[in-house]
Amino acid sequence: MARIELVDLAHAYWTHARPAEYALKPMTTTWRQGGAYALLGPSGCGKTTLLNIISGLVTPSQGQVLFDGVDVTNLPTERRNIAQVFQFPVVYDTMTVFENLAFPLRNRGLDSRAVDARVREIAGLLDLTPDLNRRARGLGADAKQKISLGRGLVRPDVAAVLFDEPLTVIDPALKWELRSKLKALHRALDVTMIYVTHDQTEALTFADTVVLMHDGGIVQAGRPDELYDRPRHTFVGHFIGSPGMNVLPAAVDGLVARVGDARISLARPYAPPKAGSKVEIGIRPDHLRLAASGGHAAKLERIEDLGRVRYARLLFEGHRLSALVPEGEPPPTGPEVRLAFDAARIHVYADNLLVGEP
């Protein structure tokens, strides 16, 4: 169990890489002991590289990794006291489930009574008890992945358990179950867990802190609701939420944002941004209202029915927008609709970064 600190950490896969070619741009951050972190981001954003640096499979080109203040940057994986679960189940085919789970403990010379007790405890948490004496070879993908999870969790003293998209091969129905199991395990075992995924649902349900990565850097880290309500970067707005945040190019001055010919009022005044910067406003589909009258004119293109919720796809001043159609309301008809913005929920961005963080 440990607090993990990354100090000025960066990595390039080849020497003499230009800054733009870094797989991981310089970052400094601290992850507290016992937290459940999700590294979220699209493919190629550097999240697996970061995970492998923490586990020691990759040595960073610069910076340090500290576990509880101790520099482990140059320690090999086996001496870092971490556990890792991979994308595809890694099980020792010729061993039984019990032997698989006991393997990391036996390698560290625990006596057999302690091994037995701990394996049974973890197997119980993962519902593997009935399979303990079966050979791992014959089991299904989800059972094998549970064994991998179990091998990660079985060591009582690990600094952190790292998950590299562990649910990729699991059926959707079982995914949900395993995810809640992980959450329960996290509560039961009090270990630091770091979970890499590109699936926002997985990240938002699993983690108490979501670290969103983009293009080799951390764009925002925070509670799931923070990322949803106050995206600090337009990318966060796009990536979190489905559909993502509406982002419109605008001119902002004082209490008013101008999008095309429309003048949208803001909740607080903004100073005119630096000349030459790209100014945008962002608002989530949930915070747009289709009104009977008032508001701004927009053209309804179609209604998208996702079953649980409906979204209106609109054309507003030449920009495409999504707006939530509240439950119980009849869907609007006719191409001409009126659109109301919730002023308190409008974010202003300059060069993709949130302006005026109070």
Contact positions vs other proteins (CB under 8 A): 55, 57, 76-78, 82-84, 86-88, 90, 92-95, 103-104, 107-108, 137-138, 140-141, 148, 151
Residues forming a β-bridge with 337: 298
CB of 107 to other proteins, least distance (A): 4
| Nearer to other proteins among residue 151 and residue 179 (C-beta) | 151
The CA radius of gyration of the chain, in Å to the nearest whole number, is 24
| Nearer to other proteins among residue 172 and residue 328 (C-beta) | 172
Judged by DSSP in three states, 335 sits in: coil
| Nearer to other proteins among residue 86 and residue 176 (C-beta) | 86
CB of 95 to other proteins, least distance (A): 7
Contact 105, 118 (CB under 8 A): yes
| Nearer to other proteins among residue 172 and residue 334 (C-beta) | 172
| Nearer to other proteins among residue 118 and residue 151 (C-beta) | 151
Structure tokens at 234: 């337009």
* DSSP string across 340-352: EE-GGG-EEEETT
d(CA 46, CA 40): 10
| Nearer to other proteins among residue 148 and residue 234 (C-beta) | 148
Distance of CA 74 to the CA centre of its chain: 27
d(CA 133, CA 226): 46
| Nearer to other proteins among residue 76 and residue 331 (C-beta) | 76
> Does the CA dihedral 333-335-336-340 come out positive or negative?
positive
d(CA 182, CA 274): 47
* Selection from 147, 134, 52, 168 nearest residue 104 by Cα: 147
Q: Does 332 sit behind a cis peptide bond, omega within 30 degrees of 0 on the bond before it?
A: no
CB of 327 to other proteins, least distance (A): 42
CB of 91 to other proteins, least distance (A): 9
CB of 98 to other proteins, least distance (A): 14
CB of 57 to other proteins, least distance (A): 5
CB of 93 to other proteins, least distance (A): 5
* DSSP string across 245-264: -EEEE-EEEEEEEEETTEEE
Which residue matches tokens 């925070």? 222
CB of 148 to other proteins, least distance (A): 8
| Nearer to other proteins among residue 1 and residue 251 (C-beta) | 1
Structure tokens at 224: 């799931």
Residues in the chain, how many?
A: 358
